[in-house]
Amino acid sequence: MRYQIEFCPNPEYVNIGVDKRLVDCFVRGSKPPVDNLEKQNACKGLANLLEVIDGIPGVTKVSAQRYELTIRKSPMFEWDQIIPLALEAMKTFLADGDLQEKAPPIYPERDPDGDDEELDFGLDEFEDYDDEFEDYFEDYNDFDDYDEAEGYYEEFDDYD
């Protein structure tokens, strides 16, 4: 079985993609299908894998999709403490001892300038709007009647 690690933008998550189907209508905690011995064994292997990975120190959550495992860790732990143990468990329970890296890990895209400016998705514009909105409410209390305030509020129609 071949795998590739993908680090997510959230540094507490990692996905491990595999070229072998992991899930076949299996829900953790349910009984394996009884109609096919091969499916039964695959489900037992996956259940054992999830249990072992869930028991790795630092792991807070593990889930399986059709061709991917997702692992969440505590911020107090590093991936180099967790990933080797998870791969060893995959090798034991899913790959019959044959687990190979398909390609180097994938890392989240970062701004080429290194300042991650594009990753803040326009927070500066939001902060400017937020400041004007605060002024809007402060000024609202300064008006004596609704007609006087109505003209002032029309300025904010541009933000719709």
**68-73/13-18 β-pairing:** antiparallel
pLDDT tens-digit series, residues 77-133: 999 999 999 999 999 988 788 899 998 999 988 655 555 554 544 455 545 555 555
Model pTM score: 0.61
Mean pLDDT, the chain, whole residue set? 75
- CA neighbours closer than 13 Å in the CB half-sphere of residue 45: 20
Question: What is the domain partition of the chain in residue ranges?
Answer: 2-101, 117-159
Q: CB atoms < 10 A from the CB of 96, how many?
A: 10
Single out the residue of 46, 51, 8 nearest to residue 26, CA to CA: 46
Give 26 or 64, the one with higher predicted confidence: 64
Q: What is the pLDDT of residue 160?
A: 47
pLDDT tens-digit series, residues 52-61: 999 999 999 9
Which distant-in-sequence residues (6+ apart) come within 8 Å of 9 by Cβ?
Answer: 108
Is the domain defined by 2-101 classed in CATH 3.40.309.10?
A: no
